Structure 1
Amino acid sequence: MRKLLTCTLFLVAALAGCVTINVYFPEAAAQKAADQFIGNVLEDSGAVRPAADKDSKPAAPVGRQPSASLLDLVIPAAHAAESPDIRISTPETDAIRARMKARFGGQLKALFDSGAVGFTNDGLVAVRDASSLPLDQRSQADALVRQENGDRDALYRAVAKANGHPEWESQIRKTFAEGWIQRAPSGWYYRDASGAWKRK
């Protein structure tokens, strides 16, 4: 009996140690934050019309990880980080958002509308068809894409850092990449995981 009690206490202590070390990426909260940021950039710049209430899908509920239910039985405090919030508003991200809005409200929207540029599957923008642009506008389009991608890289890094987890940068990038493609209006191009360009 004593051996069983000792083993149980050791297991509880080991699980408690895992809870404090294992910080999971809050995917649902990140999707909600990315959707808010992307909607703000695209809608406020006039690049897309605001989504109608009937067409907008409700945000996925932020729930527990499947493995958390067992921990909750043993360690009720494991439940503490059940509804995390992703911080996307800092002075740095607000400045990035303003620059992105200005670009989308200006020339970037026209480049997307023409099919000259599209979204990539890694959260960036790429020139898709330079030949669709007049020769004198190609270098300007390249410069615009470079500026946009510089801000996008800085955004994903800043969001991860603002949330105290720089190691989340790749997951933040992936979440935003999916969001940009989902929110893109019909007719805009995006590159899928295989590298092929597709039109929405």
Structure 2
Amino acid sequence: MRKLVYALVATALVALVGCVTINVYFPEAAAQKAADRFIGTVIDQGAAPAGAQTTPPPQGEGNPPPSAMLLDLLVPAAYAAQTPDIRVQTPATEAIRGRMQARFQNTLKGLLDAGAVGFTRDGLVALRDAAAVPLSQRAQANAAVADENRDRNALYREIAHANGHPEWEAQIRETFAKGWIERAHTGWYYQDASGAWKRK
């Protein structure tokens, strides 16, 4: 009799898990907020915000109800999805941030101010007008653009992986692309949705 009860309970649990569909949506608002903080520390040369998150967010206060604990045990992502947030600070992203801040201060800001470089629609930078850069400095400008794009690609990938959702990389890139353009200073160039260069 006891074996029959165990078999029925096990079958019910398998059926429950099989029927549970968990949709983890990209937390767009949280991503925009995180991107804005990160971009601000690069463009405005500030330090990481004091309230910046370095660990995953708490899953709530107090003890969750037993049904949530059981569901969390069976499908851990279900309970975590209740508090959508996005993690941007990891050792890798902090190293990238440091390189981007130094590069921005030493090279990119001048190139952006001169109109030689602009923000692309896909979250990168591009040499828009090589003639705006003296011939003796073009190799340095090209190297800065290549290094910046390598770091940006690594940043978007790292944020997606740090949040346990590598499939979010394209959405993170899109969110950051909008953020870079929104934070651009007056006179800087950016690409619109069609890829045409515009001046802010």
Scaled by the length of structure 1, the TM-score of the pair is 0.73
The residue that corresponds to 2:45 in the other structure is 44
Q: Secondary structure at the match of 1:44?
A: coil
Aligned to 1:184: 184
* Cα distance in structure 2, aligned partners of 1:16 and 1:42: 47
Q: Which runs of 5+ in 1 are unaligned?
A: 1-12, 47-77
Say if 1:80 and 1:164 are closer, same or farther in 2 by CA, change over 3 A: closer
Q: For residues 110 and 45 of structure 1, what CA distance do their matches in structure 2 show?
A: 18
Distance 1:16 1:36 in 2: 39
Amino acid at match of 2:144: L
Offset of residue 132 of structure 1: 1.2
1:165 is the counterpart of 2:168: no
- Structure 2 counterpart SS, 1:158: helix
Other-structure match for 2:27: 26
Render the CA deviation track for 1:117-152: whole Å, top value 9, x for unaligned.
000010000000001111111111111100000000
CA drift at 1:83 = 3.3
Residues of 2 paired with 1:138 and 1:43: CA distance?
25
Structure 1 match to 2:61: none
Equivalent residue pairs, number:
158
Paired residues for 1:22-101 under 5 Å = 22-44=23-45, 81-101=81-101
Q: Which runs of 4+ in 1 moved over 4 A?
A: 13-16
Partner amino acid, structure 2, of 1:17: V
Aligned residue number for residue 67 of structure 1: none
1:60-113 CA-partner distances (Å, limit 9, x unpaired) = xxxxxxxxxxxxxxxxxx786343111000000000000000011111100000
Hey, what's the Cα distance between the residues in 2 that align with 1:79 and 1:31?
23
Hey, what does 1:17 align to over in structure 2? 20
Contact 1:45 1:105 (C-alpha < 8 Å) held by counterparts: no
Quick one: distance in 2 between partners of 1:99 and 1:27? 26
**For residue 181 of structure 1, what is the amino acid of its counterpart?**
I
1:128 is the counterpart of 2:131: no
Distance 1:182 1:142 in 2: 24
Distance 1:28 1:189, change over 3 A: same
Structure 2: stretches of 5+ with no match in the other structure? 1-15, 48-77
